[in-house]
Amino acid sequence: MNPGFAGRWGTGAVLACAVAACAGPLSLLPDVDSGLAVAEEENQRELYLRDWQDLMIRAQTVFSRLVLANADLCDNARTTYFGIQIQTAESYDAEFRAPAVRVLGVGDLPTIVYVWPGSPADVGGLLAGDQIVRVDGALIGSGVTGRGNAVRALHESGAATGVGEVTVTRDNVERTVTINPVKACDYSLAVQRSDSINAYADGTRVVAASGLIRFATDDAQLALVLGHELAHAAMHHVERQSANAVAGGLLGALFAGPVGLFAAPASLGAFSQAYESEADYVGTYFAARAGYGVDGVADLWRQMAIRSPGTIHATSSTHPSSAVRFLAIEQTAREIAGKRAVTQPLVPNLKH
Ligand SMILES: [Zn+2]
């Protein structure tokens, strides 16, 4: 601190306090109106929800493109893609419910808060703000349970019949629309609120931390990392690691669990590195096939090195080093560019 400042202000304040026996800050602070503070709290909750919704739409848009464009490479692909995001007021903590109603229009019934442009739901005529009452004639219910019912009923309806009859209420009028879902890899994306830069696949879904989504500077990079996780799922790495675990007897428990982007348990060992390299390779193809430019996308791993220098030369890790990953993805991008130049199909090269 500037000694002149301390001398001029500190001495006087100490003397004043000695007389008045005061405690706490010495400065004369702004007098904030408590009513304005409450209003600002609501404003900040709305800002938070808008930011979170933008992040969700960005991540789900990239993931949608990946599961649609790579259906031919996923052996579990089914006609379950409708292209809607569903929420309900009860999904939010009490203090965020009123802001969520204002920002997203959510109600007690499962509410469509986003319709992907050009998706089957869009083509069928569903709109953001529609509240789902029935699927295939069966009542869905309200709240978190109703949302779960709606998601499950749409998934099962599409998988079984390739069509879904959705009854919604819009402006207090019920209407029923028929939707023809399209084929996509049958994995969902869950976004976790976390500043960590990581993601994993657990065999049925991809889970990505919001920190990772923000870390990916553009959608091509986001497609690379979500494509990496989708590749783990599509190549059955989780099940194959479990199979290795079973074969390994006592080591079994060490191999169980999800496979991640770079922070899997250190006990996973050599199998893990090979699967990680394969997920990078196939994931780069997945991103390219979804229409993302993969030239330069490897830069993500240079950014990772700047952020986490421990990844630069990781010899005993479960994952390849960020240096190796950068170079391998660059090489894969060149391989893809070569295939594009001679209009060869964009499919990963297999050993046999
Ligand atoms: Zn991985």
**Six token digits for residue 195:** 């500043």
- pLDDT band for position 259 (50/70/90)? low
- Give the domain ranges of the chain: 78-184, 188-341
For a pLDDT cut of 90, what percent of the chain falls above it? 70
Tell me the CA–centroid distance for residue 199 and ligand 1, in Å.
8
- Say how many Å lie between the CA of residue 344 and the centre of ligand 1: 27
pLDDT at position 1 is: 40
Q: How confident is the model at residue 256 (pLDDT cuts 50, 70, 90)?
A: very low
Q: Ligand 1 centroid to 287 CA: how many Å?
A: 15
Give the least confident one: 60-74, 104-118, 239-253: 239-253
Work out the percent of the chain whose per-residue pLDDT is above 70: 85
Tokens found for residue 269? 């060992």
Counts for the chain of helices (H) and strands (E), in that order: 13, 12
End-to-end CA distance of the chain: 70
Average pLDDT over residues 269-282: 82
Ligand 1 midpoint to CA 152 (Å): 28
Q: How confident is the model at residue 191 (pLDDT cuts 50, 70, 90)?
A: very high
pLDDT in tens, 118-148: 999 999 999 999 999 999 999 999 999 999 9
The predicted model scores a pTM of: 0.87
Compute the distance from residue 262 Cα to the ligand 1 centre, in Å.
6
What value does the mean pLDDT of the chain take? 87
Distance 280 CA to ligand 1 centre (A): 8
pLDDT at position 23, please? 82
Alpha carbon of 59 to ligand 1 centroid (Å): 18
pLDDT at residue 246 greater than cutoff 60: no
Q: What pLDDT is stored for residue 21 in this prediction?
A: 56
Query: Of 32-41, 99-108, 250-259, which range is least confident?
Result: 250-259
Distance separating alpha carbons of residues 133 and 146, to the nearest angstrom: 9
At residue 348, the pLDDT reads: 97
pLDDT of 149 > 70? The answer is yes
pLDDT at 139: 97
> 257 C-alpha to center of ligand 1: Å?
12
Query: CB within 8 A of 160, min separation 6: which ones?
Result: none
Is it true that domain 78-184 has CATH number 3.40.50.720?
Answer: no
What is the Å distance from ligand 1's center to 130 Cα?
Answer: 37
Whether 10 shows a pLDDT value over 70: the answer reads: no
Is 235 a residue whose pLDDT tops 70? yes
Q: Which comes out higher in pLDDT, residue 17 or 156?
A: 156
Query: Could you tell me which of 286, 280, 293 has the C-alpha nearest to residue 326?
Result: 280
pLDDT of residue 201: 87
Per-residue model confidence as pLDDT tens digits over 69-92: 999 999 999 999 999 999 999 999
Q: What is the pLDDT of residue 257?
A: 43
Q: What integer pLDDT is reported at residue 19 of this predicted model?
A: 53
Q: How far, in Å, is the centroid of ligand 1 from the Cα of 229?
A: 6
pLDDT at 253 > cutoff 50: no
Q: How much distance in Å is there from the Cα of 250 to the middle of ligand 1?
A: 24
CA of 266 to the centre of ligand 1 (A): 13
pLDDT over 90 (residue 271): no
Model confidence at 302, pLDDT cuts 50, 70, 90, reads: very high
pLDDT at 181: 96
Rounded to the nearest whole angstrom, what is the distance from the C-alpha of residue 239 to the centroid of ligand 1? 14
Q: What is the pLDDT of residue 319?
A: 82
| Unique residue bearing structure tokens 């000695």 | 18
- Alpha-carbon distance of 280 to 231, in angstroms, equals 8
Task: Specify the pLDDT at position 318.
Answer: 76
Are 215 and 303 a contacting pair, CB within 8 Å?
yes
**C-alpha of residue 261 to centroid of ligand 1, in Å:** 4
- For helices 270-289 and 322-341, the axis angle rounded to 10 degrees is 40
Look at residue 250 and tell me whether its pLDDT is greater than 50. no
Range 305-319 average pLDDT = 83
Average pLDDT estimate for 302-316: 86
Instruction: Find the range with the poorest average confidence among 29-38, 237-246, 252-261.
Output: 252-261
**Residue 326 CA, ligand 1 centroid: distance in Å:** 14
Q: Report d(CA 142, CA 108) in Å as an integer.
A: 5
pLDDT band at residue 239, thresholds of 50, 70 and 90?
Answer: confident
